[in-house]
Amino acid sequence: MSLVISHLDYCNVVLYAQYDLNKIKRIQNMCAKVILKRKKYDSSRQALFDLHWLPVKARIEFIMMTCLYNCSRGNAPAYQIELLSHHIPTRRLRSSDHSSLSYSVPFNKRRTFGDRGYRTVGPKLWNTLPIAIRESETLDMFKKQLKTYYFRSFFKLF
């Protein structure tokens, strides 16, 4: 199974494209049913929940947020850190004490192919994370909190 998961995760972060996710999603759902020995028409959502797996979209976001956490701590390669810039507010408010933990999102007048890239999507997703998760002291604690956050948000009904 680890062979399949590694192929599903390969280069997903490079281009966050919606149209390719359906193929990967079908493979993940099929693998979850095979592992649990479920029938073809059983709920794949329930299978993912039982295995405690994140859906494909959440897996991609999880990997991307882990990369951004490493960038914020200076543990990432220099070429990744150079792609991002910290958000510097023009004025200081009491409610914006944690603005140093935010990244600025590049502005583009038109929607382009690059808007789905790591440089644009990463900061957008990072800025929507709760502050408590972004302030995690260790990578392991960050991953644990992030997986719980995504698991709760993607499986609200269960």
pLDDT number for residue 94: 57
Backbone torsions φ then ψ of 157, nearest 5 degrees: -80, -20
- The pLDDT of residue 118 is 67
- The C-alpha atoms of residue 48 and residue 33 are separated, in whole angstroms, by 8
How confident is the model at residue 125, as a pLDDT? 86
**Count of CB atoms within 10 A of residue 11's CB?**
7
Q: How far apart are CA 44 and CA 40, in angstroms?
A: 9
Q: What is the mean pLDDT of each run of 10 residues along the chain (158 residues)?
A: 73 63 87 92 92 89 90 84 66 55 67 63 86 92 95 79
The two tokens of residue 52 are 């405690």
- Residue 117's beta-bridge partner residues? 15
Helices (H), 37-138: 44-51, 56-73, 78-83, 118-128, 131-134
Identity at 71, one-letter amino acid code: C
Quote the pLDDT of residue 158. Answer: 54
Report the C-alpha gap between 53 and 29 in whole angstroms: 10
**For position 114, what pLDDT does the model report?**
55
- Residue pair 18/57 in contact by the 8 Å Cβ criterion: no
The pLDDT of residue 36 is: 93
Length of the chain: 158
DSSP 117: B
| 115 three-state secondary structure | helix
Which structure tokens are listed for 19?
A: 């149209």
pLDDT at 111: 62
The per-residue DSSP string of 122-143 comes to: HHHHHHHS-HHHHT-SSHHHHH
Q: State the pLDDT at residue 29.
A: 92
